């Protein structure tokens, strides 16, 4: 190599290192990574496609979403179960959603628990299920005649504030905070969710010339704070109460929030990001993610960085670096990507099929960023197949397991003990003893290799299956299709607990251990 080329490569490397900052060597196929997709139900964005469809059609459409993202090796779904003071589940605190049954308050026909079914189907495909709730938005319009008599608008009109063509719960009222905490409490107690998830809707996005009329509650409860500080205090208190409520009921259930992508602009606060965002979390939505993380009230944060990598006023690359540098080690950091913009945004960089793959690659260059979430589900279901193909062949070629969030990390020392392995022409049937040190096992992960010496559970390409298990008589039984073992003679098994910790492997030589049925 001549001197000029050597100098050029040195300059490029230096520039790249400076841009990346908190970087690590990028791993093309990481074994551990969070890969989530939002499934939006409000106004039938993703699912159900039509709110008057028969139950069986709605079920089929939901399973199509799950199957699409399972094939793409995703491992989490963030499903909107409450969007406008309603519920996609039988509740004592909210009416059935019109987006599910066509009329608010009307139960499904036949009547069954949609949420319980959705969770089971997600777990059966190896997904974490994050129950997504919009706490403060009460309606999507002002057509109150379409609301159920059991909607809070009628039961508690004093809780409501009209703003920008919608009604909102007043975050400044203690009784509102208690009610919304009870909504979350009901979900956590009744359902086997992996996480409670809030998005970016706290105080509503500001509309020029229109004031959010919470004057009366501010005068009553402001306690000498400025209006902005009081509003932030309301959201902070609510987040804190939700966190404590979840952990008291089920300590393994995560609490995650997906805030707007900009905390504050540097022009307003030197600690802010190098952006020129028109609205920000802190100043306009009165939400302070830094406070939540520093006080250990949330398990993960998933900022919505819905811009292109080098966007002029809110660069994905700059914001990625900012969040990486400002997220404390006690909080898992994932990044939200706006796949809804592909080929449909005024920023023409979204016409490039490599924009999302490049964003994932950039995410992986930061040591403390553990994955991505994608908004929203419909954009890869029969759409944007050129981008899907790139992901299938490159970034998401192999499965991955989510890491436990920082406060859940624990080194497991116990491995699975096998009672028996049998097979027939269709399946291997494996029976395990329940691990003695754990109360709950969520999944068993199956790895396969050509022979025992080649087994490596750090290699994502060896993951054959992730199977949800149910304990019966202190044992677990799983089935592994024989076609998945073609060309392989060795299995390895691990279990994943409810906190997402993975056990050491148990390795089996099938040629030696298997009995034929």
Do 23-407 and 410-516 share a fold?
no
**pLDDT score, position 515:** 58
Angle, helix 55-71 to helix 114-124, in steps of 10 degrees: 30
Q: Delimit the domains of the chain by residue range.
A: 23-407, 410-516
**pLDDT score, position 240:** 98
**pLDDT score, position 15:** 43
Q: Which CATH class is domain 410-516?
A: mainly beta
**Average pLDDT rounded to a whole number, residues 303-320:** 98
* pTM (two decimals): 0.94
Confidence of residue 517 (pLDDT cuts 50, 70, 90): low
Q: Is 185 helix (H, G, I), strand (E, B) or coil?
A: helix
Topology annotation, domain 23-407? TIM Barrel (3.20.20)
Q: Give phi and psi for 7, each to the nearest 5.
A: -65, -40
Averaged confidence pLDDT in the chain: 93
Strands lying side by side in the sheet with 490-497: 463-468, 441-449, 490-497, 506-509
CB crowding 396-434: b at 16 or more within 10 Å, else e: beebbbbbbbbbbeeebeebbeeeebebeeebbbbebeb
Q: Residues 237-253: pLDDT tens digits?
A: 999 999 999 999 999 99
The set of residues, in sequence order, having a beta carbon less than 8 Å from that of 359 and lying 6+ positions away, is: 309, 316, 335, 337, 372
Q: Residues 503-516: pLDDT tens digits?
A: 999 999 876 665 55
**pLDDT score, position 9:** 39
1 pLDDT above the threshold of 80: no
**pLDDT score, position 306:** 98
């Amino acid at each position: 190599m001549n001197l000029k080329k050597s100098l050029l490569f040195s300059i490029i490397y230096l520039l790249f290192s400076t841009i990346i900052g908190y970087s690590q060597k990028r791993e093309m196929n990481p074994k551990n990574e969070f890969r989530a997709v939002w499934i939006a139900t409000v106004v039938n964005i993703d699912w159900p496609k039509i709110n008057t469809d028969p139950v069986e059609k709605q079920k089929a459409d939901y399973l199509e979403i799950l199957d699409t993202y399972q094939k793409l090796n995703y491992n989490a779904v963030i499903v909107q179960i409450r969007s406008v003071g309603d519920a996609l589940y039988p509740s004592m605190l909210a009416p059935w959603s019109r987006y599910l049954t066509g009329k608010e308050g009307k139960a499904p026909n036949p009547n069954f628990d949609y949420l319980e079914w959705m969770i089971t189907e997600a777990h059966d495909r190896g997904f974490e299920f994050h129950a997504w709730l919009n706490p403060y938005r009460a309606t999507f319009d002002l057509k109150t005649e379409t609301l159920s008599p059991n909607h809070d608008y009628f039961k508690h009109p004093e809780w409501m504030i009209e703003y920008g063509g919608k009604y909102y719960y007043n975050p400044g009222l203690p009784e509102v905070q208690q009610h919304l905490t009870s909504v979350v409490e009901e979900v956590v107690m009744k359902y086997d969710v992996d996480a409670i998830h809030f998005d970016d809707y706290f105080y509503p996005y500001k509309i020029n010339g229109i004031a959010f009329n919470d004057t009366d509650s501010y005068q009553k409860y402001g306690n000498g704070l400025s209006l902005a500080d009081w509003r932030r205090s309301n959201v902070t208190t609510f987040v804190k109460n939700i966190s404590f409520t979840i952990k008291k009921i089920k300590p393994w259930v995560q609490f995650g929030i997906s805030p707007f992508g900009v905390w504050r602009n540097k022009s307003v606060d030197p600690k802010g990001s190098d952006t020129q965002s028109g609205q920000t979390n802190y100043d306009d939505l009165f939400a302070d993610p830094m406070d939540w993380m520093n006080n250990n009230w949330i398990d993960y944060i998933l900022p919505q960085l819905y811009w292109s990598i080098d966007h002029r006023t809110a660069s994905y690359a700059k914001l990625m670096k900012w969040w990486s540098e400002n997220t404390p080690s006690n909080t898992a950091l994932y990044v939200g990507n706006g796949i809804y913009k592909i080929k449909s945004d005024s920023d023409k960089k979204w016409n490039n099929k490599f924009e999302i793959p490049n964003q994932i690659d950039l995410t992986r260059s930061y040591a403390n960023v553990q994955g991505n979430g994608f908004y929203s589900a419909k954009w890869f279901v029969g759409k944007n197949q050129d981008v899907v193909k790139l992901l299938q062949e490159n970034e998401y070629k192999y499965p991955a397991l989510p890491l436990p969030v920082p406060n859940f990390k624990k080194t497991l020392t116990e491995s699975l003990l096998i009672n028996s392995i049998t097979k027939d022409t269709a399946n291997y049937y494996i029976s395990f003893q329940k691990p003695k040190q754990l109360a709950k096992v969520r999944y068993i992960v199956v790895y396969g290799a050509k022979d025992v010496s080649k087994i490596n559970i750090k290699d994502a390409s060896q993951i054959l299956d992730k199977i949800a298990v149910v304990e019966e008589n202190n044992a677990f039984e799983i089935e592994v299709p024989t076609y998945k073992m073609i060309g392989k003679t060795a299995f390895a098994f691990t279990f994943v607990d409810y906190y997402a910790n993975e056990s050491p492997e148990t390795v089996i030589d099938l040629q030696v251990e298997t009995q034929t049925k």
